């Protein structure tokens, strides 16, 4: 199956700092999603981004499908940004079935 690798596995920041999270995948995909999981386990969809760049407030994401990676940017981080960030991809040959990476655990300190 497709391999999804996220880096770094853990990240600790001071409030106000910027960060970049990376997602590499091993095959062609027809969609890619970024999620934030809060400490209570709730997963929130941040971006649906099979290609190109999107922005939503302090967060933005870029997917370069031809080079098989996606980046999630967090600017001016806040303590509420803490949690686990997951990338999930859906192969072109296996529509409807998304594979998740192991996540990046972000801790933002006040």
User: Among residues 94, 24, 13, which one has the least CA distance to residue 58?
Assistant: 13
Structure tokens at 100: 């998740």
Residue of the chain from 43, 60, 71, 75 that contacts another protein (CB under 8 A): 43
Distance CA 35, CA 40 (A): 14
* Options 13-21, 34-42, 55-63, 75-83: segment touching another protein (CB under 8 A): 34-42
User: Among residues 18, 8, 9, which one has the least CA distance to residue 75?
Assistant: 18
* Options 21-29, 41-49, 61-69, 74-82: segment touching another protein (CB under 8 A): 41-49
**Residue numbers at the binding site for another protein (CB under 8 A):** 1, 31, 33, 35, 40-45, 47-48, 86, 88, 96-103
């Amino acid at each position: 199956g497709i391999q999804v690798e996220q880096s770094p596995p853990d990240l600790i920041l001071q409030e106000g700092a910027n960060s970049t999270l990376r997602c590499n995948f091993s095959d062609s995909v027809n969609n890619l999603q970024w999620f934030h999981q809060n400490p209570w386990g709730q997963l929130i969809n941040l971006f649906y981004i099979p290609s190109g760049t999107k922005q939503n407030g302090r967060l933005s994401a870029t997917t370069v499908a031809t080079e098989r990676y996606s980046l999630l940017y967090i600017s001016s981080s806040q303590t509420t940004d803490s949690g686990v960030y997951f990338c999930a991809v859906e192969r072109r040959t296996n529509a409807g079935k998304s594979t998740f990476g192991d996540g990046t655990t972000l801790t933002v300190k006040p």
